[in-house]
Structures are given as C-alpha cells and as structure tokens.
Structure 1
C-alpha cells in the first residue's frame, strides 16, 4: 500500500488471512479513493485538487509512492511553487521506484517510470537546469515513445534548451538585441521559465531598456519570489531610473538572502546614500567599509553614534583577555558587513561589580576587575559601561541594542538584524 499499488495490496491482503483486516482494508479503500480523484483532477488540469488528493493519498498510507510524490511535484510546479516542487521531485527520486514498478505499470496514462522523468524534466527546465531537463525527457521518451505528452514535452524541452544556448552565445558576443529575441523564442515555448526572463532582463539592461528589464525581472519573481539574480537586476534597473525607494527595498531583501555578499552590501549602501541625497538629507558623514575605528573622546563618540545608518560600538581594553578573544571576530564582522560602522572604545576606565556565578557559562567569561586608565573614562561613565566586552548598537542616532559578553552567534545575529 505504501507504494500506491492498490490492486497488489488488495490481493496480498485477501491471501494473507481468511478474514481481511478491516482497518487495513479501510486504509486501502481510502488510498484508492484519493488516488482516483488525483488522476481525474490531473486529466481536468485541476492542479489544486491534484495536490490535495495526492497529499490525502500519501497521508492515508501511500507514503512510499514515488509516483504520487511526482504527481504532487507536478501540481506544485503548475501552481508556481517551484522550490516546493523541486523538493518533492527530489524526494520521489530517492525512492527505489524502479524495483517497485513493473515496466508496464501505468500512471496518468504514462508508463510509470516515464512519468517520473517527465515531471523531472519540467522542474529541471523551470529551475534552469537545462542539461538535466534534456537528459530526463530523453529517458522518458525511450521508456514511453508513443506517449503524446512525452513527445510534446520532448520537443518543448529541446526547443527551449536551444533557445537558451543561442541566447547565451549572442549575449556573450555583445549582440544583446539578438539575444533578447532568442530568449523570447524560448519563452514562447515555456512562458514559466525564470531563467529566460532573467537572461532577457540582463539583455535589456545592457540596452538601457530599464523599464523592460524590470518587467522581465517581475515575471521571473512571480515564478520564484526569492530569485536573487532577478532581484539584483531589478534593483540595478531601479537605480538607473533613480527610483531609489524601490532599489533600496530590493537590496534590503538581498541583504537578508546574501548577508555576506560584499558587492550587495556596497550596492545597498550606495542606493541608501542616493535615496537620502534625493530627499535632501545629510550624507557627507556616511561611509562604507574600512577598518574598526577607534573612539578616544566624548565628542568623537557622540558624532559617531549620531551618524545615519548602523554603528556598532565595542567597549574594550587591549589588556583584557576576553576582549582580545572577541576582537578578531569583530574585525571579521567589519569585513562581512561593510555597510555597518564598527567602532571601539579602548582603555575604558570601568569598575566591575558583577558577581562570579552568572558568568560561568558566558562565552567570554569576565572576572570582576578594576581598569584604572584615563584616556576615555568620560565615554564609559556616560554610557554606564561596567563590564567588558560590552557592545552597543546605534541606528540613525538611537541606541537599539546593548550586549554584555555576547556569544559570537548573538553578536552577528544582532549586527545582521539591525544592519539590514
């Protein structure tokens, strides 16, 4: 039953005992009912019902059926849920369906194994894995050469793959208008292909057709909302049109998707500067990247914490072992998040009165200590810093976070959270 072979399961159940197990019989009948509805819905092109009934059949006991998982994957694809479809067909591929399906087993009018490759080809093509798509549909046609759906999909996959290959060649040769046409031919065959839309958007960007580039990116993002290439190209196109609000919004999404990408961080920073400048706001103090800056006086501290954007202040002293441990990681964060200002207040005169036990499990353990130096005690007193290392995060001049002896995970999470 787990494989979805209802007839075989019924025969096995009837032969196993004189009186069939009524519970097992009910399960089989339930699977059979949902499987039948699933097949009928597919014939009608009702993909929501295909998804619902395949899920119901799997939940009822056919949880090892590669064919039902493939039907589920096909339904998800047709409902524009590409990531979920990819996951479902991957799960189906992991099952040993070749040994569980005879060569003449039929499913949805396909020879069973042909259907699996047929669905795989569609998802591979939609995901931009064109070579895999061609390989999968070739296998489907070898298994079931007389199936009309397989033949039609075979022609479509080959046509789209050729269009993409030609478009890439033309693009790499600098023939952007011709490449647009080639990608467009592929889209006529497969209008739900995010890669072809994104590639054509790149051509239109090169041709300075910013609005059309944005339109193609929008189409790609309808297919996969977190498609980073489309977001990058749309953000850049918005920038070319000086639509900075939209550009910044896209870069904010990209910063969450690609938190360690320096190019995205820099583009985001420049878009922020352009947006503020377009509003007449002060931007002369905004900076990007660089090393951790040292704060040595109250005036410098006040200026640093009032800057637009995000500033992370590290209160530390070089002679403290825990500060020495965390400082290299702060340098790493500075490189990883170049749009965030990292500053340190060193040689801070502080008096620690925190008792020993609460800090036993802290990653940067700090014993009570007295640091008696005089270079920047005013900053420590003004900020009421009594324990080092202490971190304070300011955003647009407002303190939004304070951490005492944070773990590396908490520190980076906080930087990412407020810096994006």
Structure 2
C-alpha cells in the first residue's frame, strides 16, 4: 500500500485464513479513495484538487508511491509553487534510482528557500543515499562484495523503497553465493518497480544457479518479450528450457542454441525431421521468389528466438517431389508439424502472423 499498489494491498489484506485488521482496512479505504479523487482531479486539470488528494493519499499511507509524487510535482508546477515542486521531483528521481538528478533537484529546492527545514532534511538524506550507492558501487568493482552489501543496506535504511539499491545488493548476494537472499532483494526491487529488467535478469540467474528451472524459464520468457534483440537472454532461456525438460525426464530432440534453419536435401530427411515429437516448421520457398527472399531473414531470426522449434526449409525448385507430396503450390508457404502430423499451414504470411503462429505452437515449457 505504501507504493500505491491498491490491488496488491487488497489481495494481501484478504488473504485466505488471515483476519482482516480494521485499522489496515480503514487505511486501505482512505488511500483508495484519495487515489481515485487525485486521478479524477488531474483529468480535469484541477491542480488544487490534484495536490490536495495526492497529499492526502501520501498521508494516508501511500508514502513511497512515485506516481503520487509525480502528480504532486506536476500540480505544484502548474500552481507555480517551484520550491515544493523541486522537492517532489527530488523524491521521484530518488525512487527511480536517478541519484545525481535527485541531489540536483534537492539542491535547487534549497536554493529557492535556504531556510526551509524540510528541504534541508531531504537534501541531507538524498546526499547520504547517493553516497551509499556510490560507495557500494566502488566496493563492488573492487570485488569487496560483503562490504558493498553493507553500503547498499545503509542506503536502504535511509530510503527503504529504492529499487536500484535492492537490485545492486542482489548482485552482491549473487557473487557471495547467497542466492536466496539475492532472489529476495530482486523480489523487493520488482515489487517497487515491476518492469525492472535488471532485477529480473538477476533473479533469473539466481533461479538457474539453484536449478529452479521452471522459475528461471518464466523470468527469461518475460525478459525475451521485453528484450527481443538481446541474444544473451535468448541463450539463457534456451539452456533453462533444456534443463527443465531434462529435469522432468523428457527427451530432448535436436535442440541447439543459435542453429541455422536446416536445409532439407531429400525425402527421407524431411520425413524424419517432421516426425519428431517436437514442433517442426517447414519453410517451402523458391530462391527466385522476391517474397521468399524478404521473409527468409525473419525465419533465421525466429530460429534463434525459438530454440525449442525445429526449423527446416525446402527449395521447391530443387525438390519439387517434396512440395508436390505436401501439396504446396504457392511460395512462401509454412507448414507446422508435430509427431508427423501437419497442424497448421500458412501461405504468404506477414511477419507478425508468422511469428504469432510460432508462438502458438511452441512446446510448452512451464
């Protein structure tokens, strides 16, 4: 609730078997009410109302919510209250891990009103947190991981909702072999900043070290969607997928990372490849066809992106018998097979249609 995550807070309050605390329920209802009013006021450019409701939400318990501080800063700017606006901006920058910007905003607020006690306290706090982060980073670079943990912990005592410090400390725990602690800190970082890819990467790496393959695959799948061009994620996902299948006693067929699309040179090879238990995608093509030339690079990319799928290509001009047997008349045509059975056919697809078809027919890994 301190982060303004009302739905998550409500699920926690209503957890089965847990008695509902009347005080917590009242706080939740207050935060929910003021958040809603803040949103409504902002929509109609009622900046006094936005400011009032944002401050009420913060006072009611959502005092580590970056979005609320952003609304407050925006309202203050609109109302020309520059000093308070800079104060809010400093808190936002700190919450997002932009330490230098946070210090600069706090210093600017101090310049506007040098005698403001709240500004002085915030500036001191921001500087201390920034120093703790810098010291932790320096210690980490020197491979003094235990001391770096302490430095980041010092920063977290001053700013307990700082996702960057949690993520940095998670890296230290990982280096020290304290993988469960690393996962815990990554979880904290992701609660604060749900789309924090660095924390997700570190958690996935810890899961892999612990051979918690299903968890690792789940994280790497999210990362692959977030970072589709990051080859390291694709490779880590592949290895986690293979390990998960092996841990379940499943046989692994022809799975290799970064392989090329296999060229079919004869009927026996085609039958053997499409009869495997895994999913096979066959690209029927013609070397002289413009559309085939345009889509072939995408097929190569997808071959790397989806290592659990067996990719093949058949040149109809060189192997017309295979094309005739599979009743292919137009190129490019893609046919998807599983256990020797054709499950889908796509003729002259767009790039999006082709990739979505691959996604739909991936071997389930989790």
Q: What TM-score do you get using the length of structure 2 for normalisation?
A: 0.79
- Give me the whole-angstrom Cα distance separating, in 2, the residues matched to 1:327 and 1:296: 18
Consecutive unaligned residues of structure 1, counting only runs of 5 or more, are 1-44, 102-111, 349-372
- Give me the whole-angstrom Cα distance separating, in 1, the residues matched to 2:342 and 2:103: 56
* 8 Å Cα contact 1:289-1:340 kept in structure 2: no
Q: Is it true that 1:175 corresponds to 2:144 in the alignment?
A: yes
- Among 185, 189, 193, the residue aligned to 1:220: 189
Change (3 A) 1:194 1:335: same
- Among 58, 64, 81, the residue aligned to 2:42: 58
Residue by residue over 1:172-209, the C-alpha shift from the partner in whole angstroms, topping out at 9 and shown as x without a partner, is 00100100000000010111111111110100100111
Question: Does 219-228 or 173-182 show the bigger shift?
Answer: 219-228
- Give me the whole-angstrom Cα distance separating, in 1, the residues matched to 2:224 and 2:257: 15
Partner-residue secondary structure (3-state), 2:138: helix
* 8 Å Cα contact 1:289-1:341 kept in structure 2: no
- Give me the whole-angstrom Cα distance separating, in 1, the residues matched to 2:250 and 2:291: 40
Change (3 A) 1:395 1:201: farther
Alignment of 1:13-412 (within 5 A): 47-62=31-46, 78=62, 82=66, 84=67, 92=74, 97=78, 101=80, 112-283=81-252, 285-307=254-276, 311-334=280-303, 340-347=309-316, 375=319, 377-378=321-322, 380-394=323-337, 401-412=344-355
Change (3 A) 1:140 1:96: closer
Partner-residue secondary structure (3-state), 1:242: coil
How much has 1:125 moved relative to structure 2?
Answer: 1.0
How much has 1:331 moved relative to structure 2?
Answer: 3.1
Residue by residue over 1:29-78, the C-alpha shift from the partner in whole angstroms, topping out at 9 and shown as x without a partner, is xxxxxxxxxxxxxxxx9544442232233344526999679869979x94
* 8 Å Cα contact 1:176-1:207 kept in structure 2: yes
Consecutive unaligned residues of structure 2, counting only runs of 5 or more, are 1-28
Q: Which one has a bigger Cα radius of gyration?
A: 1
Partner-residue secondary structure (3-state), 1:403: strand
Change (3 A) 1:167 1:347: same
Change (3 A) 1:397 1:171: farther
* 8 Å Cα contact 1:163-1:182 kept in structure 2: yes
Change (3 A) 1:223 1:96: closer
* 8 Å Cα contact 1:288-1:338 kept in structure 2: yes
Residue by residue over 1:308-357, the C-alpha shift from the partner in whole angstroms, topping out at 9 and shown as x without a partner, is 66543211121333323322343344456566543211126xxxxxxxxx
* 8 Å Cα contact 1:311-1:393 kept in structure 2: yes
Find runs of 4+ consecutive structure 1 residues off by over 6 angstroms: 63-66, 72-75, 395-398
Residue by residue over 1:262-314, the C-alpha shift from the partner in whole angstroms, topping out at 9 and shown as x without a partner, is 10010000001111111221125211112221123344334434556654321
- Give me the whole-angstrom Cα distance separating, in 2, the residues matched to 1:203 and 1:62: 46
State the match for 2:12 in structure 1.
Answer: none
Q: What TM-score do you get using the length of structure 1 for normalisation?
A: 0.69
Change (3 A) 1:64 1:346: farther
- Give me the whole-angstrom Cα distance separating, in 1, the residues matched to 2:336 and 2:200: 29
Q: CA RMSD in A?
A: 3.5
